[in-house]
Chain A
């Protein structure tokens, strides 16, 4: 079904209803993409919600999601279509008497065509959301494969002719910017640069995705994560990691984030030991390995302390 959005705020409401919190920029670009029938190219660091945007769009519009995961070595046969060679062979063997013309016309026809995600999105009778994930992983030359479909929503198969889209899909491409995409690809898309969210937006995301979290706690987590991102680390924590962190803290019954809890659970947020050491130092956090071993392990529930959910400092 086609979305009946009349303004960007409709878009952000529809997305919010599915649990995806957008901002003015995202809502505007999605709105334009729908109006102008153009693909969206979302680029930004891993884990800021590029793929989630496509999932959210599919949920918000009630469309089916067709996903093409890109990887090095992806080719036409895996992205567009392939002829079912074994079935063709069987057809030839089963019918000795047929003439060449009959056979040729027959084995290069629809029943022998294996559709892959791109063709599937084009031929789908009901409109879909097409997600082309991590397009920066394919080689520069393979990008050209996508151009025809992005440009005019059609695929040309030499034996069959041009297959045009029955309905216009919403197309979302994502890229982690590990290499630069070609100009030709970028020109055909609306470019959506997705940096890390602002503190306000990250707090709102935490509140919506982790419903049990307290307002003050969400604020503090968002501020801490934002500060960590200003430190020059190998892998800055993304939104999905700060969500993991919030869930971890909640699961441990921590409702007030102080320096010791932060340093003990930092490994949820950061994936390299060198990063953890750097952040401990930069944020003046105590080194967890120097903690007094006679103290109870904070990761184990201690019977003498108040139970989870109550402030430990009571």
Chain B
């Protein structure tokens, strides 16, 4: 068990979960008080000692299923296998009916047995095939015809008392949960077989999922975005605390002669107690200009949320959003608003689409210069977020140049990987020379690092010097 534990800890660390030495020792101590045959107890004991962030839970669960899966399929199922009598052809339809019955009655043992069989029949799993587990899961789910199962499950469950749309809605969520359970069971089964074939370490490495803060924001799934939303609030508050802490405990300012002499009067004019002026803080204004078309909206939202979290570092924050028209949207955002909702309201109410709803950087920058030139002053830090994919329209670099010339510093955050810049309709190279700093910011972690460093005076000085 000790070997398994240390391999497991190594896997968690490889997945990015910081597990300290002490925590690993705690886990070992906890295991000596744990009934190892009870899988949920084992999971709880390891989770309590090794994983200290809700956002690491997902990566932990993936690794746990690989290392401590229920390995009993081959033995126990051998006897119960002849569902269809020997020799008779396997009947897909009646098999699916059995799956349906198991789902409808929430019979987990039956479901597990049936899934074992489904994986045998449908996954086409062969030793040595260099294919990831998700592919097999996908194949099995397709052969089981998940969409059709969902519809039939609704009919099966809802025969009795559906009087209103509300009843239907409850039924839908129940059926969806049952189907999610089916998918999870298939996934567990596939994982287990892969572990038998390839060994836990290899499978764990191939299944390793990015931690939430390392997910590519441009390509995150709906479910991932929901999970990221859960953690971005606490993260923003932590960032704010850290910055204000630094401010309070930062260096002292210049000697305050007047107050030093005043305090020396208490001890007969001896300058015992030098007094310092609090450091003068130059707070810049910040103007955030966001491309909010399509997948960029999510990125813009998280950028704004983190920026507003440290709003006290700035004397003023103004926000502009554009797609192929630009509008000031400062009124929708603030330190305590629900950002998801604010973005929805903003897209509905602000006038940011003028023509076809595809990004037009040139037009938007031009409009910014025409209408909001007064927003950008020599005290302004201009922050642009966007992928610079301009749909082959005129880039309008001269307008950005006008804005950048009047701003104190100009930053551009691009959520695309650097190697995709200037491919296709991306015109990043046109904008790059106009900005002081151009960063690739793909994940929440990179965004946090950028926002934090942007609040440092040293960073602003660097930007101004370049």
Write the residues of chain A forming the contact surface with B, with a CB cutoff of 8 angstroms: 7-8, 24-26, 28-29, 31-32, 35-36, 38, 41, 43-44, 139-141, 177-180, 183, 186-187, 189-193, 220, 223-224, 226-227, 230, 232, 234, 258-259, 262, 274, 282-285
Q: Which residue of A is nearest B49, CB measured?
A: A190
Q: A26-B44, A179-B237, A284-B169 are known contacts; what are 20 more A-B pairs with Cβ within 8 Å?
A: A8-B35, A24-B41, A25-B43, A25-B47, A28-B34, A29-B48, A32-B45, A32-B49, A41-B52, A178-B233, A179-B234, A180-B53, A180-B238, A183-B18, A191-B48, A220-B170, A227-B169, A227-B173, A259-B167, A283-B166
User: Shortest Cβ distance from A4 into chain B, in angstroms?
Assistant: 14
Distance in angstroms between the alpha carbons of A193 and B46 in the assembled complex: 12
- Which A residues are in CB contact (< 8 Å) with B47? 25, 191, 193
Report which of A25, A139, A189 forms a contact with B44, defined as CB distance below 8 A.
Answer: A25
- Which B residues are in CB contact (< 8 Å) with A258? 163-164, 166-167
Are B26 and A36 within 8 A (Cβ)? yes
Are A230 and B173 within 8 A (Cβ)? yes
Are B30 and A36 within 8 A (Cβ)? yes
Q: A25-B47, A285-B166 are in contact. Are A232 and B226 (CB under 8 A)?
A: yes
Distance in angstroms between the alpha carbons of A230 and B177 in the assembled complex: 11
Report which of B26, B51, B166, B341 forms a contact with A284, defined as CB distance below 8 A.
Answer: B166
The 0/1 profile, CB within 8 Å of A marked 1, for residues 15-42 of chain B is 0001010110010011001110010110
Distance in angstroms between the alpha carbons of A25 and B242 in the assembled complex: 33
Q: Which residue of A is nearest B172, CB measured?
A: A227
Distance in angstroms between the alpha carbons of A36 and B47 in the assembled complex: 15
Report which of B48, B164, B168, B340 forms a contact with A190, defined as CB distance below 8 A.
Answer: B48
Are A32 and B48 within 8 A (Cβ)? yes
The count of A-to-B residue pairs whose CB atoms sit within 8 angstroms is 113
Q: Which of A32, A41, A232 has the most CB of B within 10 A?
A: A32
Write the residues of chain B forming the contact surface with A, with a CB cutoff of 8 angstroms: 18, 20, 22-23, 26, 29-30, 33-35, 38, 40-41, 43-45, 47-49, 51-54, 57, 163-170, 173-174, 226, 233-235, 237-238, 241-242, 245, 338, 340-341
- Which A residues are in CB contact (< 8 Å) with B54? 43-44, 177, 193
- Which B residues are in CB contact (< 8 Å) with A234? 338
Q: Which residue of A is nearest B238, CB measured?
A: A180
Q: Which of B18, B41, B166 has the most CB of A within 10 A?
A: B166
Q: A179-B241, A187-B52 are in contact. Are A28 and B45 (CB under 8 A)?
A: yes
Report which of B48, B234, B245 forms a contact with A180, defined as CB distance below 8 A.
Answer: B234
Distance in angstroms between the alpha carbons of A41 and B49 in the assembled complex: 11
Q: A178-B237, A187-B20 are in contact. Are A28 and B166 (CB under 8 A)?
A: no
User: Shortest Cβ distance from A268 into chain B, in angstroms?
Assistant: 17
Distance in angstroms between the alpha carbons of A140 and B237 in the assembled complex: 11
Q: Which of B48, B165, B173, B242 has the most CB of A within 10 A?
A: B48
Are A284 and B165 within 8 A (Cβ)? yes
Are B166 and A259 within 8 A (Cβ)? yes
User: Shortest Cβ distance from B304 into chain A, in angstroms?
Assistant: 18
Distance in angstroms between the alpha carbons of A44 and B340 in the assembled complex: 21
User: Shortest Cβ distance from A209 into chain B, in angstroms?
Assistant: 22
- Which A residues are in CB contact (< 8 Å) with B166? 258-259, 262, 283-285
